[in-house]
Amino acid sequence: MDREIIDQPIWDQTEVVKWLQEAGYANVYPIKNGRIMVQQNAQVRVRISTHKSLRIRPTFPEIGNSIQIISTIFFAVLLFLFNIPFGLFWAVGLGQLVSLAYYRPPALRLKAELERLLHDRYASQQSKP
């Protein structure tokens, strides 16, 4: 992707929200300070910052999702069987890592889709007379 187009400070928050809604993204909503949240579901979210330049970042999955709970229970049982000190703390931490590993690839795919969409939209706007 051409980073020069994304790095220019010409992005308007309302315009980007309108473009994303026209492209079929239903869960798009502006948040404070020129940021936009795009959600596929509660765990797969991407934050777009339009303050100085366009920055797209995946967010951490929501705490307490089903993958995290199941993996935390699994690790808690496993760590208590082996009598590991602070087993519950380790289990929660490992559960969060499993959740991140599970939901990170879809969030990165959503980020790539949004970058491509906004890049193409901006390029088409620039080519108009």
pLDDT one-digit tens code per residue, 75-88: 999 999 999 999 99
Among 58, 66, 59, smallest CA distance to 109 is for 58
Predicted local confidence at residue 6, as pLDDT: 60
Segments making up each domain of the chain, as ranges: 3-127
Model confidence at 23: pLDDT above 70: yes
Maximum Cα–Cα distance for the chain, whole Å? 71
pLDDT one-digit tens code per residue, 28-70: 999 988 899 999 998 999 999 887 778 899 999 988 999 999 9
Residue that has been written with the tokens 């051409």 in this structure = 2
pLDDT one-digit tens code per residue, 2-22: 555 566 666 788 888 998 999
C-alpha pair distances (Å), 12 with each of 3, 18, 33, 53, 123:
18, 10, 12, 10, 15
Average pLDDT (101-129) is 87
- In which element (H, E) is residue 56 found? strand 55-58
User: Counting runs of H as helices and runs of E as strands, what totals does the chain give?
Assistant: 4, 4
Predicted local confidence at residue 126, as pLDDT: 72
Predicted local confidence at residue 85, as pLDDT: 93
Residue that has been written with the tokens 């020069």 in this structure = 4
Q: State the average pLDDT for the chain.
A: 88
Band of pLDDT at residue 95, cut at 50, 70 and 90 = very high
Please, what is the end-to-end C-alpha distance for the chain in angstroms? Answer: 23
Give the pair of three-digit tokens for residue 58. 């995946």
Per the model's pLDDT, the better-predicted residue between 92 and 125 turns out to be 92
